Amino acid sequence: MKLDDVVSHYLLDLRNGNYSSYTLVDYCQKLGRWISLLNGLCGVTELEQVTVLHLRQCVDHLLNAPIDPLLGSGPGRGRKPHGKTLLASSVRGYVRVCKAFFNWCYQEELIENNPVNRLKSPKTVKRVKSTFTPEHIDAILGMCDRSTDLGFRNYVILLVLLDTGIRLGEVCGLLVENVHDTYIKVLGKGRKEREIGIHPEVSKLLWKYIHKHRHPKKSEEPILFLTRSGTPLTDGAVKMIIELIREKSGLTDLDFSVHTFRHTFAKWYMKRGGDVLKLSREMGHSSVMVTKIYLEDFGSEDARQDHTSFSPVGLLDLKKQVKKKRVKKRE
């Protein structure tokens, strides 16, 4: 069976499984690269010919060969200059997609032996995720001219990102009907719907945006955040807004993206005494272990700050215990 034919069938199965458009584009791009590498490096075009050795050769190439700037490291990841190689973290993404594909092939009984069983992902340098400080946030919000419709919209988008930690696709897909007084409802990864609480101040700003600053081109437009012309705001447009604010605020040395707001939300939620299980549910993670990745810079110093508030000793009346001890001694 030709690799490209099998990949086409696999992608069709993903579409039927309600995967997001971003995931489908990402898988299509990465699997296309795999086919190209297997053909060009290993002379392999048939599914049954692929071995773990072939896949390891491809991984080595991805890690060490200069990349074409048009390929980058995946959709939405920007362009890289000639001569640069992919980061190990990006190559791990390629390996993850490769494993998903061949596991599917094995489950569908298209191959007798699964070549990814012994395929390892490259190790990456463990980096602490960047987050914003209150000073950073003040500077960022100060870049929005709230006297204009677009400036007010941008201000609300930033606060929603900070208050809820939702993903880029989720903020663009947010519907007017899913904005409530105390929470919003979003459609996350795997087409799973979840509710996320919102701060009362953010709730008021959302109401004001909807009733005063939102001007849809069509009266029945369901999407919440709109462009100047009244059409739905795209992922690319939000990224551009974030980049412009980054430059205007002078915070160009920071890791500055929608995901930075997500990491900031997670860290400050915990610093203020939040529960990690509730945080995991609000962030739409499949498990608490995924959430903990966002909390790698939440160290013991942060954890001890509210120790007194949450210690079980706070449930005890120690003065009463001392009095009891004194009474026994007298007896």
Q: What pLDDT, on a 0 to 100 scale, did the predictor assign at position 292?
A: 65
Domain contains 317: no
Q: Residue 203 maps to which CATH number?
A: 1.10.443.10
User: How many alpha carbons fall within 13 Å on the CB side of residue 290?
Assistant: 9
Q: How confident is the model at residue 313 (pLDDT cuts 50, 70, 90)?
A: very low
Residue 83 tokens, joined:
């001569």
271 and 183 within one domain = yes
Residue 50 tokens, joined:
């692929």
202 and 87 within one domain = no
Q: CA nearest 76: which of 188, 172, 210, 158?
A: 172
List the beta bridge partners of residue 187.
193
pLDDT greater than 70 at residue 295: no
In whole angstroms, what is the distance from residue 32 CA to residue 35 CA? 5
Residue 157 tokens, joined:
């988008």
Domain contains 326: no
Bigger pLDDT: 290 or 311?
290
Phi, psi of 175, rounded to the nearest 5 degrees = -100, 150
Q: How confident is the model at residue 249 (pLDDT cuts 50, 70, 90)?
A: confident
Domain contains 95: yes
94 and 138 within one domain = no
Q: How far is CA 171 from CA 84, 163, 224, 285, in A?
A: 32, 12, 9, 16
Q: What pLDDT, on a 0 to 100 scale, did the predictor assign at position 15?
A: 86
289 and 192 within one domain = yes
Q: What pLDDT, on a 0 to 100 scale, did the predictor assign at position 117?
A: 94
Domain contains 271: yes
Q: What is the amino acid identity at position 325?
A: K
Return the minimum-mean-pLDDT range out of 76-90, 230-244, 291-305. Answer: 291-305
Q: What pLDDT, on a 0 to 100 scale, did the predictor assign at position 86?
A: 84
Phi, psi of 89, rounded to the nearest 5 degrees = -65, -35
Q: What pLDDT, on a 0 to 100 scale, did the predictor assign at position 71?
A: 47
Q: Residue 35: how many CB atoms within 10 A of its CB? A: 17
Domain contains 242: yes
164 and 77 within one domain = no
149 and 286 within one domain = yes
**For helices 235-249 and 258-271, what crossing angle results, to 10°?**
70
Mean pLDDT of the chain: 81
- Domain carrying residue 102: 3-107
Handedness of CA 199, 189, 239, 261 (dihedral sign): positive
Q: What pLDDT, on a 0 to 100 scale, did the predictor assign at position 265?
A: 85
98 and 7 within one domain = yes
pLDDT greater than 90 at residue 322: no
Cα angle 192, 291, 234; round to 5 = 50
146 and 85 within one domain = no
Q: What pLDDT, on a 0 to 100 scale, did the predictor assign at position 82?
A: 44
217 and 300 within one domain = yes
Token pair 């898988």 is found at 27
157 and 22 within one domain = no
* pLDDT tens-digit series, residues 159-198: 999 888 888 888 999 999 999 999 989 887 767 788 888 8
Domain contains 154: yes
Q: How confident is the model at residue 296 (pLDDT cuts 50, 70, 90)?
A: low
Q: Residue 138: how many CB atoms within 10 A of its CB? A: 11
* pLDDT tens-digit series, residues 11-34: 999 888 777 777 888 899 999 999
87 and 49 within one domain = yes
* pLDDT tens-digit series, residues 82-135: 457 888 888 999 999 999 999 999 999 999 999 999 999 888 766 656 788 888
Percent residues over pLDDT 70 in the chain: 79
* pLDDT tens-digit series, residues 217-236: 999 999 999 999 999 999 88
Domain contains 195: yes
pLDDT greater than 60 at residue 330: no
* pLDDT tens-digit series, residues 256-288: 888 888 888 888 887 777 777 777 777 776 666
pLDDT greater than 60 at residue 69: no
Q: What pLDDT, on a 0 to 100 scale, did the predictor assign at position 279?
A: 76
Domain contains 254: yes
- pTM of the full structure: 0.61
* Domain tally, the chain: 2
263 and 141 within one domain = yes
